[in-house]
Amino acid sequence: MTILERPETLAASGKLDRLAEVAVRVGLGLAHGQELVITAPLDALELARRITEHAYRAGASLVTTLLSDDEATLLRFHHAPEESFDKAAVWLHEGLAAAYRGGAARLAIAGGNPALLAAEDPRKVSRANMALSKAMRPALELITRHEINWTIVACATPAWARLVFPDEAETVAMQKLWDAIFAATRIDVPDPVAAWRKHAADLQQRVQFLNGRRFAALHFRGPGTDLRVGLADDHLWSGGGSTARNGIFGMPNMPTEEVFTTPHKDRADGSVKSSKPLSYQGTLIKGIAVRFEGGRVVEASAEEGEDVLRGMLDSDDGARRLGEVALVPHSSPIAQSGLLFWNTLFDENAASHIALGKAYSTCIRQGETLTTDQLAEKGANDSLIHVDWMIGSGEMDVDGVSADNVTEALMRQGEWA
């Protein structure tokens, strides 16, 4: 089943329309007269149209949707010449960066097949990823600096639903995935906008507590994990939405359950194991084990997808260093669903996680005004990539460590202490 074949079911429930409305009002906080760029997989066309309608109703001056086609991506891997895999549509990403510079908001719909490239040549996948990361850099820079309001929401698609619910018929799998998306994005409640305001306030309270503590480091302990992550100088915790440099408050990820900050790129030491598989650019990487020394990954292995993991780590020097550390309680509704979504937007909100690669400069005091060199002096990492992977579980303990080495329990057995 696709949502195009059964639009009446979702239209009747009104939930698809509410998701679109919440994405525009809460996720983007779209301003009257603002332009909007939507990127979406082909199977998310109906949701993209709902969002387009709500954007115009909110006063959008122009909405432009770019659709991507998983089948066309596979055709490239099967038929394109060798040199294709070092190319990316640079002109397209320059155009997107120009749109954002001109004040456009960005909305990405996630929902493509997380395992699309699992059977493809990992060297080709790595090269294509690298070329894409380079092409995306100017636009990504504007996003990580939070120059504009942006958000990501999810749309159930048949290929994704089959992966999450492999034992179900496709129609059942689609319905179950939609139910999970609606629950995680608080569309199920009578007043989703009010529910999101309350949720944002709860996360912001946690952020204020952590910012008040000024921890120098976090210490993670769990099965296969004993990792000390130093935090960047002048780091700021964030969560529950933020105000972009254009003055608009939004919720960059829907769902979101995390509070996160910028680690120091030279101060991670110890070993860490992933607690969930990672879906990276169409490949699944399972059982990641990594050892850090002085902030840098010096040993890395994976039970599955190790080639792609290595390709990712070799993207550039910053790809071996941390750009984010995030705390998520094991009681988060997404963790409690017990589902593995194979999609970072969901899975990263089910477990504490770290990200290799570029840091969010918004998680450094006055970070938006600093140059890349000034950010690096404070410990913020720079890279072409930013890849979150999950390390938390119901067995994870986390301590905050002060500058004079006093520890304080932050999480015990995966829950806030």
Does 326 interact with Zn ion (rule: CB under 5 A)?
A: yes
Q: Which is nearer to Zn ion, 157 or 352 (CB)?
A: 352
Please pick, from the candidates 63, 388, 391, 392, the single residue that binds Zn ion as defined by CB under 5 A. Answer: 388
Which stretch, 45-53, 231-239, 269-277, 316-324, contacts Zn ion (CB under 5 A)? Answer: 316-324
Interface with Zn ion (CB under 5 A), residue total 7
Q: State the minimum distance, in angstroms, from the CB of residue 353 to Zn ion.
A: 6
**Which segments of 294-395 are extended strands (E)?**
296-301, 322-327, 353-357, 386-390
Applying CB under 5 A, the span of 87-95, 255-263, 363-371, 395-403 interacting with Zn ion comes to: 255-263
Q: Which is nearer to Zn ion, 35 or 348 (CB)?
A: 348
CA distance 6 to 357: 40
Under rule CB under 5 A, residue 257 binds Zn ion: no
Identify the sign of the CA torsion 346, 352, 354, 360. Answer: positive
Q: Which helix (H) or strand (E) holds 44?
A: none
- Give the footprint of Zn ion on residues 126-155 (CB under 5 A): none
SS3 state at 129: helix
My answer on whether omega of the bond before 277 falls inside 30° of 0, hence cis, is no
> Which of 355, 380, 396, 410 touches Zn ion (CB under 5 A)?
355
16 or 355: whose CB is closer to Zn ion?
Answer: 355
Query: Kind of pairing, strands 278-280 and 263-273?
Result: unpaired
Query: To the nearest whole angstrom, how small is the minimum distance from the Cβ of residue 405 to Zn ion?
Result: 27
Task: Count the neighbouring beta carbons within 10 Å of the beta carbon of residue 83.
Answer: 8
Q: Which two tokens stand for residue 262?
A: 């910028």
What are the tokens at 160? 């994704």
Q: Are 354 and 326 in contact (CB under 8 A)?
A: yes
- Applying CB under 5 A, does 324 fall inside the site for Zn ion? yes
Q: Which listed range, 107-115, 216-224, 250-258, 331-339, lies at the site for Zn ion (CB under 5 A)?
A: 250-258
- Minimum distance between the CB of residue 326 and Zn ion, rounded to whole angstroms? 4
- Least distance from C-beta 388 to Zn ion, angstroms? 4
Kindly give, in sequence order, each residue whose CB lies less than 8 Å from that of residue 236, ignoring residues fewer than 6 positions away. 211, 261, 262, 362, 363, 364, 365, 367
Q: If binding is defined by CB under 5 A, does position 347 make contact with Zn ion?
A: no
The one-letter amino acid code at 315 reads S
For Zn ion, the closer CB: 21 or 324: 324
Q: Which residues bind Zn ion (CB under 5 A)?
A: 258, 260, 324, 326, 348, 355, 388
